[in-house]
Amino acid sequence: MTAFERQWEDYTELVELKLKKYLADGRIHKTLSEAMAYSLNAGGKRLRPALLMAACELSDGDLGDALPLAAAVEMIHTYSLIHDDLPAMDDDDYRRGKPSNHKVFGEGIAILAGDGLLNYAFQVMLEFLPYARDRDDYAKAVLELSNRAGVWGMIAGQTADLLFAAGSGEPTVAELNYIHNHKTADLISGALLAGALVAGADQRLLEALRAYGSFFGLAFQIKDDLLDLQGDASLLGKSVGKDQRENKLTFPALYGEEKAAAMLRECTENARAALEPFGEGAEFLCEMAARMAVRDH
Amino acid sequence: MTAFERQWEDYTELVELKLKKYLADGRIHKTLSEAMAYSLNAGGKRLRPALLMAACELSDGDLGDALPLAAAVEMIHTYSLIHDDLPAMDDDDYRRGKPSNHKVFGEGIAILAGDGLLNYAFQVMLEFLPYARDRDDYAKAVLELSNRAGVWGMIAGQTADLLFAAGSGEPTVAELNYIHNHKTADLISGALLAGALVAGADQRLLEALRAYGSFFGLAFQIKDDLLDLQGDASLLGKSVGKDQRENKLTFPALYGEEKAAAMLRECTENARAALEPFGEGAEFLCEMAARMAVRDH
């Protein structure tokens, strides 16, 4: 196991312990808690929590302050997948090789499990506020995450994505950028910036992480688009070729596969370059960008 | 116009101005903003914002601090209605005499508009935090609201309601109380307590408002159940007799209409009694309870 792999595993263990503790709260309705746990434990990479914790450590912060935020960003990511898989949205029966939430619990409970995860993300973040080392920094981190996840961030991207697939909107570069920046890059940037803000990072580091997040988020989505075209359904745990069937606006659709692959390499390189001035401490994030560009699922 | 009516109109104007300002934010995706505004402006009574602001004034608080919370509680209430009306939930085509959100914008956008309102509620509450007169009190109010709205509050009640209608659960008093306390009373109590907490109310007043909120919330739901049986569809703006058709667990179903009406009167009286020690300042809330018990929609 490399140093990178060990660090990622450490982050994963920390956030999963935290999520387990939060989900074990006996006040949550039992069926709701099961539905939330089903999707939270369905084999996610815990990418956003790892980015958040790495940004916090790069900013010399305390992981204790970052953990509620890391758990919350994974809840927010998971709720967005549950709602995205619904028949009225992307209509996916499988997610990471398992039946989607609504295939197991029914659509009504899946909607509520998504609502529940979004609301609970804010509950756990707010509950920790009085215990944060610096409450102002912590509150800034929560606000950044909520703005990036919300109606001018991730939800705006989902809206544009849905409307385009339904036949409205032109297949332009501007439209593609809007969809992907918001649908994918915003929550990734939100995780990075929240990790840095909670640690009281200076403007120079915040700017660098903002640049890294934009490039990395874009690269992540281009890779997603390419995997839908070229990937192995059994490794992906979901069907492939779906974007084209559903008239999604993607990088390969607009630029062709070759150009999209070149853009993926360029974005990945730009993400690494943004953090170069920060030396060894930024190695985890640089390697994460490189790994995500060559992932098979 | 009575003093009560003038006060309610003042609260309504204040919160509607605030909501309008929030919705006009140009960063929100246009279609999303339209879908959110459609339901926010569909003729709601603004009951929860009025309760929040009245509780704040009863606690000698500043309405400036209460307003973002009041707008947020209306957004949370509205998102819950949008999701509740979806085919996979209560499947209602009309709400307050207008087509439901998903009948106008489609199910996908309705899901996103609901998600958006929930997320935006937290965005606007968190954005105001640095400007609150007392940040600790304000943060307590936000946490109370988020807990009451969430997975052991309103969303838990919706889950139990849905599961019961789908055939699981016994028609017991305990089950009925769980559903109604959480589905309806929790957000009403959350609004009242948030208004008091942001004003730094003392324990005695908080306890009284907690009691008032529980009784009032229960009374409000019993009245809702009775209106579904006895009400005028044209005044209600939705179909009647739906609870029975959909196998909902309601007060009249469990106790009969006469007993339910007696419980409505008793809960209303108990709500008023809880605030009696606070004299004139509590008159608005006492009259609100009385009015809601005799409303026709």
- How many whole angstroms separate alpha carbon B134 and alpha carbon B130? 9
Q: What is the dihedral of CA A144, A150, A155, A160, to 10 degrees?
A: -80
pLDDT in tens, A24-60: 999 999 999 999 999 999 989 999 999 999 999 999 9
- How many whole angstroms separate alpha carbon A209 and alpha carbon A217? 11
- How many whole angstroms separate alpha carbon A275 and alpha carbon B248? 57
Task: Tell me which residue in B88, B111, B123 faces A146 most closely, judged by beta carbons.
Answer: B123
Contact A71, A19 (CB under 8 A): yes
- pLDDT band, residue A210 (cuts 50/70/90): very high
pLDDT at residue number A235: 82
pLDDT at residue number B138: 98
Contact B86, B110 (CB under 8 A): yes
* Cα torsion angle, A251, A86, A192, A45, sign: negative
Contact A93, A103 (CB under 8 A): yes
**B67-98 per-residue burial string, b: 16 or more CB within 10 A, e: under 16:** bbbbbbbbbbbbbbbbbbbbbbbbebeebeeb
pLDDT at residue number B213: 97
B177 touches chain A (CB under 8 A): no
B46 touches chain A (CB under 8 A): no
- How many whole angstroms separate alpha carbon B47 and alpha carbon B73? 10
Instruction: Write the ipTM.
Output: 0.97
Extract the tokens encoding B73.
Answer: 């509680």
Residues of chain B with pLDDT under 70: none
**Contact (CB<8Å) A115/B111:** no
Q: Can you list the alpha helix ranges (DSSP code H) found in chain A? A: 3-23, 30-40, 47-58, 63-84, 101-105, 107-128, 135-149, 154-165, 173-180, 186-198, 203-230, 233-236, 242-245, 251-255, 257-275, 283-293
Report the amino acid identity of residue B234.
S
Task: Tell me which residue in A79, A116, A147 faces B150 most closely, judged by beta carbons.
Answer: A116
Tell me whether strands A98-99 and B94-95 are parallel, antiparallel or unpaired. unpaired
From A133's Cα to the closest Cα of chain B, the distance in A is 15
Interface of A with B in 88-127 (CB under 8 A): 88-89, 106-112, 114-116, 118-120, 122-123, 126-127
Whole-Å CA distances, A45 to A30, A74, A120: 26, 10, 20
Query: Taking phi first (over 0 means left), then psi (-120 to 50 degrees means alpha), and beta for anything else, what does residue B92 get?
Result: beta
- How many whole angstroms separate alpha carbon B47 and alpha carbon B155? 19
Report how many Cβ contacts below 8 Å link chain A to chain B.
Answer: 158
Select from B42, B53, B59, B55 the least CA-distant residue to B10.
B53
CB atoms within 10 A of CB A162: 24
Contact B162, B89 (CB under 8 A): yes
Among chain B residues, the shortest Cα distance to A23 is held by: B151
pLDDT at residue number B252: 92
User: Residue B77 half-sphere exposure, CB side, CA atoms within 13 Å?
Assistant: 24
- pLDDT band, residue A231 (cuts 50/70/90): confident
3-class secondary-structure state, position B99:
strand
Q: How far is CA A118 from the centre of its chain?
A: 13
Chain A environment of B102 (Cβ under 8 Å) = 88
A139/B297: higher pLDDT: A139
pLDDT at residue number B247: 86
B254 touches chain A (CB under 8 A): no
The residue extents of the domains of chain B are 3-293
Select from B243, B192, B189, B221 the least CA-distant residue to B292.
B221
A130 touches chain B (CB under 8 A): yes
Burial of B173 (0-12, 13-18, 19+ CB in 10 A): exposed
pLDDT above 90: residue A241: no
CB atoms within 10 A of CB A171: 12
pLDDT at residue number B86: 97
**Contact (CB<8Å) B156/A114:** no
Q: Is B3-293 a CATH 3.10.180.10 domain?
A: no
